Amino acid sequence: MSKIERFEDLVVWKESFELAVSIYQSLANCKDFGLKDQLCRSAVSVPSNIAEGFERNSNKEFIRFLKISKGSAGELRTQLYIAIKVGAIDLSKGQMFIKKSISISSMLQKLITTRMTKFV
């Protein structure tokens, strides 16, 4: 396994970045600007916090930002459930986004656990 030198090399960052882009694209024509804004903000928050924590060059800070990112993934998932319920996102696309956010949350938890046990 090669050493991760940039946050862009982290699989969880790549996955969360792609999810944020997909959500932005799928909401391009959404008329509910409040919901659209909340969804986009929480989606962007996930990879952004991974990147910010990584760039802090401190394991403690990285873990803290990974936890914030995981919280944002939960926030995103809640907003996706709401968006599906009110018809802002169709069911199949929304379920795909939810499944992806659950996967990202799991990846974040594994990374948090690894960083807490291996790099203390």
Give domain status of residue 54, yes or no: yes
Give domain status of residue 3, yes or no: no
The pLDDT of residue 50 is above 70: yes
* Cβ-proximal residues to 55 (8 Å cutoff; 6+ apart), any chain: 7
- The Cβ-side half-sphere exposure at 84, using a 13 Å CA radius, reads 14
Q: What is the CATH number of the domain that holds 99?
A: 1.20.1440.60
Give domain status of residue 62, yes or no: yes
Reported as a pLDDT band with limits 50, 70 and 90, residue 7 is very high
Give domain status of residue 70, yes or no: yes
List, for residues 61-117, the tens digit of each pLDDT value: 999 999 999 999 999 999 999 999 999 999 999 999 999 999 999 999 999 999 999
Backbone dihedral angles phi then psi of residue 85, each to the nearest 5 degrees: -60, -35
Domain membership of residue 111 as a residue range: 9-118
Give domain status of residue 1, yes or no: no
Give domain status of residue 106, yes or no: yes
- The overall average pLDDT reported for the chain is 95
Domain count, the chain: 1
- The Cβ-side half-sphere exposure at 110, using a 13 Å CA radius, reads 9
Angle between helices 59-85 and 33-55 (to 10 degrees): 160
